[in-house]
Structure 1
Amino acid sequence: MKILLIAGGWSSEREISLVGARGMQAALEQRGHSVTFFDLLDGFDTLLQTAQQHDFALINLHGAPGEDGLVQAMLERVNCPYQGSGPAGSFLALNKAAAKQIFRLAGLPTADWVLLPRRPAPDWTPPFGWPVFAKSNTGGSSLHLGRAASRAELEPVLDEIFAAGECAIIEPQLTGQEVTCGILGSTALAPILIQPVAGDFFDFTSKYAKGGARELCPAPLPEAVTAEVQRIALAAHKALGLDGYSRADFILGPDNSLHLLEVNTLPGMTPTSLVPQEAAVAGLDFGQLLERLMELGLQRHAAR
């Protein structure tokens, strides 16, 4: 198959996107596909023309454009099939404050939050008290993320978020461990328990530094907890109107309570990324996973 592999872009997660896409290209070429590596930063103005010359587009973009649904909407205009969710689901999932409203309406557990589109007044304090986590409302990869135990500690985190042109979302600090669970098709995969080594929460260093975190797959959790993680991940996938695949992130409390943090529509895609690890437990190697995503994308395209 002639595949257009769209990567790079111009978000803060550009370099992560490029690294993952090179691995995807190698895996696909090993399986006999013809792959055009397309950096959106340099090629945006020729995206539609180039997509028309290919059988399928694989999107490996993080942040916007990509996770915001723009590229997906453009590909649909030239009838080019692609993997994963459509424009609406992508946009809703990327916006954490919007997604959390949808989670609440669907009866799914998520922490309280406050959206700050602009810097609050000097006497502002969060309604749920300190400490809090502040992060970009539409960012990922744990960039522009910080913990604050006071307004003074919050200020430099907000400086970083607003300097990047983002809105901030504030949530109370939740005690527990991070668990993530991928969806492939209509099936929830084996969850992963994440134990940071370089810090006490899953920040950028924990995610991408060698040995920054232990990722235990399948997660060594009680059967009932595993089932509940999978149930909520699939329910969130459906509530947002997603397709193909996604990855839901949770905080698992000491009492085995669960809080849904967010859902990623274009999760990391290297052989050692979280969803590929879960797919391996289900019997799919990296190349097979990519081909399964393409198969699901072609099915969705045909149904449209």
Structure 2
Amino acid sequence: MKIVVLAGGLSAERAVSLVTGCGVCRALRERGHRAILVDLFLGMEDVPADPETLFDAPDGLCPQAEIKAQAPDLEAVRRSRRDQGPSRIGPHVIELCQLADIVFIGLHGEDGEDGRVQAMLDLLGVPYTGSGYLSSGIAMDKAAAKRMMEPAGVPTPKWRLLEYAEEEAGELAETLPVPCVVKATAGGSSLGVFLPEDREALRKALQEVRRFGGRVMWEERIFGRELTVAVLGDRALPPIEILPAEKDFDYAAKYQAGGARELCPAPVTEEEAKLVQNLALRLHRALGLEVYSRADFILDGEGRAWCLEVNSLPGMTPGSLIPKAAAAVGMDYPALCQEIVQRSHHLKRRG
């Protein structure tokens, strides 16, 4: 098949997305597909007279991509686009997507996980991988997803949305319970997540979290083991336990060598594994997610599982969590990418 792997974009998770996109593109080419990587924001300034010839370009047009300790400078990315246009969709992106048999969405964060790209592709009649626009948008908004967890029978920590002006952060910090979690509702890759343990740290978190945009959420801090469960098709893969090398599992810990140990399958009892797997499947279905997703949990000292959030487009770098869970059941990375494409290609999209 001709496949456009859509990656990059203009979100704080741009670097992660590009590494995901390169890994997926090369894996699909290994499986015989004519796959190319297209950057959602930068697009392609110059295309040949017959754009279809790009699908045979060496290495699928994959750039040099790496994930550094800090999130990318998005203003520098903006300045690097020649046309300097206002659109978040770069030159020739739509044209190339329309030439493809399917678009593999390798985007993370804003524009990709929030359902806007999916809605665009729906309107163009272009098939794509993963969940549709509505369920993607709900999953991306942590508050909206949490509102659906309890009715679905998925326990989640106590939470509330916060509305405050910057100068009110100090006063608010005196009233909220600590320790706690403060997060941006639309963040990902642990960006915009703070774990204050005292009121001064809470005040700073309430000020800094606003840089990540969207709404701000306070959440009860549950202490325990960090587990994540991937859903692929109609099955839950083995849970993974995450053991950060430092105190917190932040952006750097997720993507830098030595930042965390990931144990797969997680060393939990069969009963505990089934518990989080069933909850991940239940949430996947309740939100109307399709093909694949990944839900994050805390398993407390009493064996109760608390869902923190769900990801409709979890990381697909070769070292990401879903490829590790797939490997635990005998599925290598190219086979995983192939299954995502096949399952998505057969979907009948709901309105």
TM-score of the superposed pair, with normalisation by structure 2: 0.82
Asked if the contact 1:56–1:82 (Cα under 8 Å) also holds between the matched residues in 2, the reply is yes
Structure 1 residues 221, 22: closer, same or farther in 2, change over 3 A?
Answer: same
Q: Stretches of 4+ moved more than 6 A in 1?
A: none
Matched, 1:24 2:24: yes
For residues 54-102 of structure 1, give each alpha carbon's deviation from its aligned partner in whole angstroms, at most 9, with x where no partner exists: 1010011111100000111111112211111000000000000110010
Distance 2:30 2:105 in 1: 19
Distance 1:265 1:288 in 2: 19
Distance 2:38 2:163 in 1: 33
| 2:123 aligned partner | 77
| CA positional deviation for 1:164 | 3.0
Distance 2:326 2:24 in 1: 15
Distance 1:127 1:295 in 2: 51
| CA positional deviation for 1:128 | 6.6
Structure 1 residues 106, 303: closer, same or farther in 2, change over 3 A?
Answer: closer
Matched, 1:176 2:224: yes
Asked if the contact 1:144–1:157 (Cα under 8 Å) also holds between the matched residues in 2, the reply is no
| CA positional deviation for 1:127 | 7.2
| CA positional deviation for 1:209 | 1.5
For residues 197-243 of structure 1, give each alpha carbon's deviation from its aligned partner in whole angstroms, at most 9, with x where no partner exists: 1x123222221110111111111110000000100000010111100
| 1:290 aligned partner | 337
Distance 1:235 1:214 in 2: 27
Q: Select which of 200, 206, 216 maps to 2:253.
A: 206
Q: Among the aligned pairs, what percent are the same residue?
A: 43
| CA positional deviation for 1:114 | 1.4
Distance 1:297 1:20 in 2: 18
More deviation in 285-294 or 143-152? 143-152
More deviation in 43-52 or 118-127? 118-127
Distance 1:89 1:126 in 2: 36
| CA positional deviation for 1:38 | 0.8
Asked if the contact 1:94–1:264 (Cα under 8 Å) also holds between the matched residues in 2, the reply is yes
Asked if the contact 1:84–1:243 (Cα under 8 Å) also holds between the matched residues in 2, the reply is yes
Q: Select which of 102, 112, 115 maps to 1:56.
A: 102
Distance 1:70 1:303 in 2: 15
Structure 1: where are the runs of 5+ without partners? Answer: none
| CA positional deviation for 1:163 | 2.3
| 2:305 aligned partner | 258
Report how many residues are paired. Answer: 303
Secondary structure of 2:125's counterpart equals: coil
Q: Select which of 152, 156, 164 maps to 1:106.
A: 152
Matched, 1:145 2:199: no
| Superposed CA RMSD | 1.7
| CA positional deviation for 1:161 | 2.0
> How is 1:239-278 mapped onto 2 (pairs within 5 angstroms)?
239-278=286-325
Q: Aligned AA for 1:42?
A: L
Largest Rg, 1 or 2: 2
| 1:66 aligned partner | 112
Asked if the contact 1:178–1:202 (Cα under 8 Å) also holds between the matched residues in 2, the reply is no
Distance 1:268 1:118 in 2: 32
Asked if the contact 1:63–1:138 (Cα under 8 Å) also holds between the matched residues in 2, the reply is yes
For residues 101-155 of structure 1, give each alpha carbon's deviation from its aligned partner in whole angstroms, at most 9, with x where no partner exists: 1001112100011112444744335877211111111101011221113332123
Structure 2: where are the runs of 5+ without partners? Answer: 44-88
